[in-house]
Structure 1
């Protein structure tokens, strides 16, 4: 299986093309705006740095005639780091690492190539989503990635592969007639709109 020149279909909700920034200010009781501080800014910085490095390595590999080997090594190192974090803290949600750190954790998770580890992450995401510490869309993206690794149809249409002639196509979807309903349930845009945002380098770009 291949996609986007990186050895696997890419997600429709990646952060590769988006610069990481500080936490967005939020209103507090007196109407002033404050920037939330995650409980573990050190872990947030580590995750963000790893996601950025993977993004840069991926772009370099995309432009290189040598292909994906360096990017795969970066992904493997990132997966080990994520494994260490979740073994202590569970899923690194917004309370622990902030919104940007949680987005970076998602980006790292989408580079994982072991479905059994993704199953572990999904169980942790179940808990995080139930407690309001992670959005459902993160759960959906990791689920689709796991389906691809297991060779099964995905549910949310977020994973792509290289088709005939190198044209990007959506990885097979279970019950495609219900796809947009499922996507709306987790906060994803309609599939047709999302497909229009697919770039040459890495799957669909993130859509608000």
Structure 2
């Protein structure tokens, strides 16, 4: 696999994040030393450490395919990520499919790959593309489809303040053909 998929998680500067949160609280007119806020900088730094330094574990376990040219799909995997424009959370229900050729991907690896790519500042469109590309590399095929249906708090709690569902997909290989695309969409609906 290309090195970008094997890189260890990035490390955050925990102490600096704590200091910046303390400064932010003060800039918001709060007293960072008051009872309810004393531990807030540490808690937020811990969150960012856990989020950014997330380790999805082994991602590339594959097995010999039992049947060739069979569509394999896993749906309903909920992941949380952070919008890179507003640094607010969004969640997505992710579906991943591929056409099995010589090998199949271990079942837990679908969710591990989705979570790996969700644990960073990103956009939903980039998230589905990153997941699809990673699955393509592991399986050595272009016949991969990924769809995500999510809600973004940057739209729900700020701006227009409207609940919504954003749907994005990355289709490649045989999934550009009407029959495979229709089967995938039926499976994920």
TM-score, normalization: structure 2? 0.31
Structure ranking higher in helix proportion: 1
Relative contact order, CA 8 A, sep 6+: which one is greater?
1
TM-score, normalization: structure 1? 0.29
Q: Which has the larger radius of gyration?
A: 2
Structure ranking higher in strand proportion: 2
